[in-house]
Amino acid sequence: MSLLDLDSLSVGWPHASAVLTGLNLHVAPGARVGIVGPNGAGKSSLFHTIAGVLPPLAGTVRLRGEPLRPGAFLPEVALVFQQAEDQLFCPTLAEDVAFGARNLGLPAPEADARVARAIADCGLEGLENRPVHQLSGGEKRRACLAGALVMAPALLLLDEPSAALDLRNRRRLIALLAGMEQAMLIASHDLEMLLELCPRIIVIDRGRICADGPARAVLGDAALMAAHGQEVPHSLTPHPPSERHHAP
């Protein structure tokens, strides 16, 4: 059984033209799917629609076979925003992570245990009382992820999760995501990260799905990538043998 089904879905903001139309997509539990496309292709709008923030213009979104009701509280789907500052709004890290657990109406001991586990899983122990505006960029990214994980979602929607991270924090994020069991849709221009994390890649452009297949086949197709404003990841680009000879 699919976890997520999009059937003839059209996506766009109210009183505006659709940015994506006729989408059909099926995601299994635990699957990791990379979403690739140029700026303005509709990746963020798609995520807002799947999360129930933005109503579909047409078609349906189904979670575990049940139609999603826009605007309803949906703890099974967690959206991690592209800009951490759009998601972190409580005074301290612990309070921000606890916000979702409180909305679930959990007993205090269970909520506290979830918060502690999410903070530990994201490598943020010792920062519980740190004001969120004093966190580093990498810490803010992981704080957003902790705030999503505390809900125990079945599906994570990650919008440009590695953007503006230095190499150390990028590697830490990739390792963190690789160890998670949730299904993920990851929209990113970081194609090397997608190649490492996602066995399946979808390319969206000009309002539709243009490709959907194995990561290496899709990302390694130079003509396809060029047609949609992308480049083949460096690791998939053939390189001639070096002509430099080193002295023994």
The better pLDDT of the pair 145, 185 is held by 185
Tell me what pLDDT residue 49 has.
96
Residues, the chain, total? Answer: 248
Cβ–Cβ < 8 Å for 161, 186:
yes
Cβ–Cβ < 8 Å for 221, 239:
no
Cβ–Cβ < 8 Å for 76, 46:
no
The pairing of strands 4-11 and 20-27 is: antiparallel
Cβ–Cβ < 8 Å for 165, 193:
no
Tell me what pLDDT residue 232 has.
96
Mean pLDDT of 61-81: 91
CATH homologous superfamily for the domain 1-73+185-231: P-loop containing nucleotide triphosphate hydrolases (3.40.50.300)
The yes-or-no verdict on residue 231 having pLDDT over 90 is yes
Q: Is the pTM of this model over 0.85?
A: yes
The yes-or-no verdict on residue 233 having pLDDT over 60 is yes
Average pLDDT of the chain is: 91
- Residue 92 CA to residue 89 CA, distance in Å, equals 9
- Residue 163 CA to residue 49 CA, distance in Å, equals 22
- Residue 146 CA to residue 136 CA, distance in Å, equals 15
The yes-or-no verdict on residue 248 having pLDDT over 70 is no
* Chain center to CA of 210: 20
- Residue 223 CA to residue 235 CA, distance in Å, equals 17
The confidence band for 246, taking pLDDT boundaries of 50, 70 and 90, is: low
The confidence band for 163, taking pLDDT boundaries of 50, 70 and 90, is: confident
Mean pLDDT of 11-37: 94
Q: pLDDT tens digits for 75-90?
A: 999 999 877 777 788 8
Q: pLDDT tens digits for 112-159?
A: 999 999 999 888 999 999 999 899 888 888 899 899 999 999 999 999
The better pLDDT of the pair 49, 169 is held by 49
Cβ–Cβ < 8 Å for 63, 77:
yes
